[in-house]
Amino acid sequence: MEKAKLMKLGNGMEIPSVQELAKLTLAEIPSRYVCTDENLLLPMGASVINDHETIPVIDIENLLSPEPVIGKLELDRLHSSCKEWGFFQVVNHGVDASLVDSVKSEIQGFFNLSMDEKTKYEQEDGDVEGFGQGFIASEDQTLDWADIFMMFTLPLHLRKPHLFSKLPVPLRETIESYSSEMKKLSMVLFNKMEKALQVQAAEIKGMSEVFKDGTQAMRMNYYPPCPQPNLAIGLTSHSDFGGLTILLQINEVEGLQIKREGTWILVKPLPNAFVVNVGDILEIMTNGIYHSVDHRAVVNSTNERLSIATFHDPSLESVIGPISSLITPETPALFKSGSTYGDLVEECKTRKLDGKSFLDSMRM
């Protein structure tokens, strides 16, 4: 029987490329991809509430409007979205449509490269950046039905010389421009969140700089068709680790689901929109006012799905904990303080994705 080519992970393991597996037209998926969690065995549609349950939509033009009433209404909508959902879409965001189209085209092109070309970017020893899969903690862990390519993009000194600078020139230049636009959009949202939270003025500069001078990473996701989609998962259920994640859907295939009140809801990306979600670190910093949310990616039997997630996180030197002005006698600190973001990143490199387990470990 023909075998799929292997890709080397930073922890020394070798696993098949799922994109290559899908080319073998298998009748059954390999056992390492079969989920054992009963919650993951439901058909895609069976665990979705209904078509009427949708995540909120934030209009960035309204959020930045000079008209006080319009701006205040959208700010209140942003605040309630972060408190009650932890997920929302942004429209009228100002990112040029031609750049977005280029991002989509170049990422599709990357995954269309030969396996020999893609493995030039494979993960190095002890690292999670590069082409492969992330958060593989053991040889017996269930694998996601996906190939990913992840790398740090900001600050510049964190860029790995064997990754970003070696990308095909059109992809590299496109990602450079996209990185800048995502940073601008994230800072608009962080600054407006500060205002909505009524963070005391003396702290606003410090909180802003946690993210202004923070890290940015990108993860390109490729989910090929799966012969047994009800037995596999594209991306294991988890909450994101950092501050804010901005997701761009590359093609028209749906698959992102969020968990709300114990039920999975399918996210349906709007045209010319980004999907944004709150991460664990932002939940910690807001002392639980904003909430990170379990989400996952499901697969199907006929169509590939592609996306790119851009993570906006604190600087590695930032000390993480609840913002002091959000701690009161009525709202005491819910989370521990004292660890740097860099230390927490190193800790999480050895963890497998598992719901909100990291956040739970940070609770008082």
- Confirm if 237 and 259 have CB atoms less than 8 A apart: yes
Query: Within 13 Å, how many C-alpha atoms sit on residue 258's CB side?
Result: 23
User: Average pLDDT over the chain, rounded to whole?
Assistant: 89
Task: Tell me what pLDDT residue 124 has.
Answer: 82
pLDDT beyond 70 at 23: yes
116 has a pLDDT exceeding 90 = yes
Q: Which residues pair with 217 in a beta bridge?
A: 152, 311
Q: How confident is the model at residue 46 (pLDDT cuts 50, 70, 90)?
A: very low
Q: Note the pLDDT tens digit of each residue in 186-198.
A: 999 999 999 999 9
* H-helix or E-strand spanning residue 173: helix 169-197
Say if residue 329 is preceded by a cis peptide, omega within 30 of 0.
Answer: no
CATH of 32-55+91-361, one of 3.40.50.300, 1.10.3720.10, 2.60.120.330, 2.60.120.10: 2.60.120.330
Residue 52: the pLDDT is 65
pLDDT at 45 over 50: no
Query: Which pTM does this prediction carry?
Result: 0.94
Q: What was the pLDDT predicted at 357?
A: 79
Give pLDDT, residue 321.
Answer: 93
220 has a pLDDT exceeding 90:
yes
Least confident range of 10-19, 31-40, 130-139, 143-152: 31-40
Question: Tell me, what's the pLDDT at 360?
Answer: 86
Looking at residue 204, what is its pLDDT? Answer: 61
Higher pLDDT, 360 or 4: 360
45 vs 295, residue with greater confidence:
295
Q: Which sequence spans correspond to the domains of the chain?
A: 32-55+91-361
- Of the chain, the percentage scoring pLDDT greater than 70 comes to 89
* Residue 278 CB coordination number (10 Å): 26
Contact 237, 296 (CB under 8 A): yes
1 pLDDT above the threshold of 70: no
At residue 262, the pLDDT reads 81
29 vs 364, higher pLDDT: 29
**pLDDT tens sequence across 303-318:** 999 999 999 999 999 9
Which pLDDT band holds residue 125 (cuts at 50, 70, 90)? Answer: confident
Q: What is the CA radius of gyration of the chain?
A: 20
Choice between 147 and 123, residue whose per-residue pLDDT is larger? 147
One DSSP character per residue, 297-348 reads: E---SS--EEEEEEEEE--TTPBPS--GGG--SSS---B----BHHHHHHHH
